[in-house]
Amino acid sequence: MRAGQTKYTAVAGIKQLRAAIGESLRRDHGLNYGIDQITVACGAKQVVFNALFARLDAGDEVVIPTPCWVSYPDMVTLAGGKPVLVDCSERDGFKLRPEALDQAITPHTKWLMLNSPCNPTVRSTVVICSRSPRCCAGMAMCMCYPTTSMKSSPMTPTLQRWPQVAPDLCERTLTVNGMSKADAMTGWRVGYGAGPLALIKAMNLIQGQTSSHTSSVSQYAARGAVRETGPYHRVRARVYAATRSCYRQAEPGQGACLPCAGRCLFPSCAGVIGKRTPDGKMIETDSDFAVYLLDAFAVTVVPGSGFMASPYTRISDASSLQDLTRACDRIIAAGASLS
Helical spans, DSSP H, in 56-144 = 71-78, 98-104, 133-138
Residue type, 89: S
Lowest mean pLDDT among 74-88, 116-130, 163-177, 201-215: 116-130
Q: How far apart are alpha carbons 203 and 192 in whole angstroms?
A: 11
Q: How far apart are CA 71 and CA 78, in angstroms?
A: 10
pLDDT of 251 higher than 60: no
Q: Evaluate whether 216 touches 63 at the Cβ level (below 8 Å).
A: no
In the predicted model, what is the mean pLDDT of the chain? Answer: 81
**Which residue, among 225, 224, 137, has the nearest Cα to 180 in the 3D structure?**
225
Domains 15-227 and 231-337 share a fold: no
Q: Where are the beta strands (DSSP E) in the chain?
A: 38-41, 61-66, 82-87, 109-116, 141-144, 175-178, 191-194, 264-265, 302-303, 313-316
Most confident by average pLDDT, 44-48, 122-126, 227-231, 239-243? 44-48
Q: Which residues, at least 6 apart from 133, have a Cβ–Cβ distance to it below 8 Å?
A: none
Q: At what angle do helices 286-297 and 321-337 cross, to 10 degrees?
A: 110
The secondary element (H helix, E strand) that includes residue 8 is none
Q: What integer is the mean pLDDT of 52-74?
A: 93
Average pLDDT over every residue of 13-38: 92
Q: How far is CA 253 from CA 11, 45, 240, 324, in A?
A: 50, 34, 23, 19
CATH topology of domain 231-337: Aspartate Aminotransferase, domain 1 (3.90.1150)
Annotated domain spans of the chain: 15-227, 231-337
Who contacts 242 (Cβ-Cβ below 8 Å, separation ≥6)?
A: 321
Element (H, E) at 328: helix 321-337
pLDDT at res. 150: 28
According to the CATH classification, is domain 15-227 in 3.30.1330.10? no
Which residue(s) pair with 112 in the sheet?
A: 63
Per-residue confidence band for 230, with pLDDT thresholds at 50, 70 and 90: low
16 touches 38 (CB < 8 A): no
Contacts of 284 (CB under 8 A, 6+ apart): 273, 274
Give, in degrees to the nearest 5, the angle at Cα 13 between 7 and 18. 135
Q: How far apart are CA 189 and CA 212, in angstroms?
A: 14
Instruction: Of 260, 236, 115, 234, give the one whose Cα is nearest residue 181.
Output: 236
Sign of CA dihedral 165, 264, 195, 225: negative
The residue type at 133: P
How many other CB atoms are found less than 10 A from the CB of residue 255? 12
Residues facing 64 on adjacent strands: 85
pLDDT higher than 70, residue 244: no
> Tell me: the pLDDT tens digits for 73-84?
999 999 999 999
Given this model, what pLDDT does residue 138 score?
44
CB 62 within 8 A of CB 52: yes
**Cβ 165 vs Cβ 131: under 8 Å:** no
Q: What is the mean pLDDT of residues 190-209?
A: 95
pLDDT at 321: 77
